Structure 1
Amino acid sequence: MNQPLAEALTHLRMGNQTFLINFYQDHRDHFARWARRHHQLELASAHEALRAVLIDFYDQVIDGRLTKLPPDLRAYLYGMGREQIETVKTTAALPVVEASRRQHLLGVFGQMGNDCQQVLMYFYFRGYNFEKVAGKMGFANATVARLQKASCLRKLIELRGRAADGALPGAAAAPPAV
């Protein structure tokens, strides 16, 4: 069974997603039952969670973070699903002030350019180092990526300050920082 999995990894790296599609079709009902039993998740939410996990898994393979398939792929993907579900539940249970602050920051983040959004997402949410960010963004080296990240972070802070002052069109005043 190891050989087909190794072939699947090679196919995924070449962009062939048939393995993921087949995995989704074969396991979505079981994953939904598992998610309902262990996390009280509805059917549609469980299916969406599995799709998100498979996309994250694909990204790991393409980015080179995953160089060989785990011995028990289903357990690995279900573990990723558990982490994602718990993250969503934690975010949903935020206090109103924190949820409002995050929503405001997300709105300001959406006003930034695509390049800045990508750099910050790669660095803060994907955990990429500066060399990896440079490679993904097509920068000359890690120093350029570091400088770009710093510039984008300054822009985000500046936009947030302007939005709090009401200087941005359509921007509501920021909730008080807690």
Structure 2
Amino acid sequence: MSAPLAETLTQLRVGNQKFLVDFYQRSRHLFARWAQRQFKLEVPQAHALLQDTLLDFYDQVADGRLTLLPADLRAHVYGMAQQRLDAQVPANVPLPAAEASRRQRLLTQFNQLGADCQQVLTYFYFRGYQFEKMGGKMGFPNATVARRQKSTCLRKLYELLK
């Protein structure tokens, strides 16, 4: 992982799934062997299970249920897959088209914001920084400036979404 963990979570929250695609490509063969040994799954079934599990992981990050990237992501994903098999969750339940479209549109608009606005919104919404801390990180003179900057950036994002 070359990107910092917080940045990875931020990118996942705004809809960028590149991290998960890379993880899938690197891990699918190992996962398939594990699934064959543990659960006697065929390779295509194991790959589908990994895909569905990664989509579940993505949904947990996107809706805020998962706020920190696990220290051992592979073990976490394998545990999720095992829970999925134990619960016999149906495979390949796609994200509703409206939600997938909304997330993609939000990511596109977020990327159109300037770097400062992206940073301010990331600090506030995804890292949970208070205005005092955000002001210090961004070099603002006080918390009021940070609050106004966040408001301005949020307004810009809202206008882009119209």
Matched, 1:11 2:11: yes
- Note the residue ranges of structure 1 that are not aligned, 5 or more in a row: 92-113, 115-178
Structure 1 residue 61: deviation in Å? 0.5
Q: Distance in 2 between matches of 1:76 and 1:30?
A: 14
| Partner secondary structure for residue 32 of structure 1 | helix
Within-5 A mapping of 1:142-161: none
Which one-letter code corresponds to 1:32 in the other structure? A
Within-5 A mapping of 1:1-178: 4-88=4-88
| Partner secondary structure for residue 66 of structure 1 | coil
Residues 122-149 of structure 1: CA deviation (Å, up to 9, x unaligned): xxxxxxxxxxxxxxxxxxxxxxxxxxxx
Q: Distance in 2 between matches of 1:25 and 1:35?
A: 16
Structure 1 residue 80: deviation in Å? 0.2
- Note the residue ranges of structure 2 that are not aligned, 5 or more in a row: 91-95, 97-162
Q: Distance in 1 between matches of 2:20 and 2:88?
A: 23
Q: Distance in 2 between matches of 1:48 and 1:6?
A: 28
Q: Distance in 2 between matches of 1:51 and 1:3?
A: 22
Q: Distance in 2 between matches of 1:4 and 1:43?
A: 32
User: Which has the greater radius of gyration?
Assistant: 1
Show structure 1 runs of 4+ deviating over 3 A.
Answer: none
What residue number does 1:135 align with? none
Structure 1 residue 71: deviation in Å? 1.0
Residues 101-134 of structure 1: CA deviation (Å, up to 9, x unaligned): xxxxxxxxxxxxx9xxxxxxxxxxxxxxxxxxxx
Structure 1 residue 85: deviation in Å? 1.6
Which one-letter code corresponds to 1:24 in the other structure? Y
| Partner secondary structure for residue 70 of structure 1 | coil
Identity of aligned residues (%): 55
* Larger RCO, structures 1/2 (Cα 8 Å, 6+ apart): 2
Structure 1 residue 52: deviation in Å? 0.5
Q: Distance in 2 between matches of 1:30 and 1:5?
A: 23
Q: How many residues align?
A: 91
Structure 1 residue 32: deviation in Å? 0.3
Q: Distance in 2 between matches of 1:43 and 1:21?
A: 18
Which one-letter code corresponds to 1:56 in the other structure? D
Q: Distance in 1 between matches of 2:2 and 2:88?
A: 33
Q: Distance in 1 between matches of 2:4 and 2:42?
A: 33
Structure 1 residue 2: deviation in Å? 9.2
Residues 1-40 of structure 1: CA deviation (Å, up to 9, x unaligned): 6963322111101111000000000000100000001111
What residue number does 2:117 align with? none
